[in-house]
Structure 1
Amino acid sequence: MGPSDPEQSPGFLLWHVTLRWQRAMVAALAPLDLTHVQFVLLATTWWLNTHGEDPNQLSLARYAGTDVKMTSQVLRRLEDKGLVRREVDPADSRARRLRATERGAELAQRAIAAVDAADAAFFAPVGDPTGFLASLRHLADRDTS
């Protein structure tokens, strides 16, 4: 069992864990009529709003770690659903500030609770998540460029 064995490859195993986790997220969010990306952008918009920020599309994409063009498309869909509003930025009429609507804020909170429960169930076999979370943060914070 050398490095060429996929079962010994951390990347291969992470890929499979990610696929299973994504399926758990899809199942948790389906009753709320949200895709995972819609959830991430809605929840991030709501969270930033509750912390005194009305992000524009670029800052939301950077914070959420999403592609800017894809973020624009998903935000249009969330706007069509009445979950977010794009308001003209008083400081720059070309820019739009994002706000979760009342309905969007309520749905974001319900979706966060559903995702938290799904995460807790999915990661329960890890046990105490402290070290696991520290490892994930370390990997997420690495600059691989």
Structure 2
Amino acid sequence: MSTASEGATPGFLVWRLSMKWRVAVDRAVAPLGLTHAQYSLVASLYGMRHGGERPSQRRLADRTGLEPLYVSKLARSLESAGLLERARDPRDPRAVQLALTEEGRERTRQAIEVVQGLLEQLLAPLGGLDSARTREFQRELTTLLDAPLDPTNENLKEQS
């Protein structure tokens, strides 16, 4: 354990790990003209497309955990870069559907390969991507992500 982590709270460790990951992905995908946030968007869109879906901005926001307004901003910048197409949903004129362009699909494939290599490095101390420890870590992370967090919770107010 690093000296910076000694005595640290779980919240601090989650924050540090997420920052370490974000910075590493930012650096890794920068040569492809992407940021970590843009990568999150295009990689999710890529995966959803392979599942037969052409998602709306709202659905993509839900999938990535990003704010809908931020997804809209990212989509516009990716559209300007020629990586993404935005179109009105024929079933709901208020909704905007997203799709990767051919260039967007190719760049996303390259970025996914790069990030997959980073993920293998990150998980090596747990035995690698397919190890039992990694699967348990993934279950634990999913449990934490599924737990509701409500900053207006009355219990939090009573404790302060």
Length-normalised TM-score, structure 1: 0.89
Say which is worse superposed, 69-78 or 103-112, in terms of deviation: 103-112
* Structure 1 unmatched ranges of 5 or more: none
Q: 1:38, 1:74 within 8 Å by CA — same for their partners in 2?
A: yes
Supply the distance in 1 between the matched residues of 2:103 and 2:26 (Cα, whole angstroms).
21
- TM-score relative to the length of structure 2: 0.81
The DSSP-based 3-state class of the residue aligned with 1:130 is: helix
In 1: Cα distance, 2:137 partner to 2:38 partner: 26
2:141 aligns with one of 119, 136, 139: 136
Q: Which amino acid aligns with 2:86?
A: R
Question: What secondary structure sits across from 1:98 in the alignment?
Answer: strand
Structure 2: unaligned runs, 5 residues or longer: 151-160
May I ask how many residue pairs the two structures share in their alignment?
Answer: 141
Query: Which has the higher mean CA deviation after the structures are superposed, 70-79 or 121-130?
Result: 121-130
1:18 aligned residue = 18
Aligned AA (1:132): F
Name the % identity.
36
* 8 A Cα contact 1:24 1:122, kept in partner: no
The superposition leaves residues 68-119 of structure 1 with CA deviations (integer Å, 9 ceiling, x where unpaired) of: 1111100000000111101222222332211111111111111111111111
The DSSP-based 3-state class of the residue aligned with 2:40 is helix
- Please say if residues 44 and 64 of structure 1, whose CA atoms lie closer than 8 Å, have aligned partners that are also in contact: yes
* Relative contact order, higher structure (CA 8 A, sep 6+): 1
Distance, in Å, in 1 between the alignment partners of 2:55 and 2:143 is: 26
Offset at residue 124 of structure 1 (A): 1.3
* Shift in Å, 1:126: 2.1
Q: Secondary structure, in 3 states, of the residue corresponding to 1:61?
A: helix
Question: Which residue of structure 2 lines up, in the alignment, with residue 53 of structure 1?
Answer: 53
Q: Is contact 1:7-1:13 (8 Å) kept?
A: no
CA displacement 1:38-58 (0-9 Å, x = unmatched): 011111112112211111111
Aligned to 2:64: 64
**How far does the alpha carbon of each residue in 1:110-136 deviate from its partner, in whole angstroms, 9 at most, with x for none?**
111111111111221122312111111
In 2: Cα distance, 1:90 partner to 1:15 partner = 40
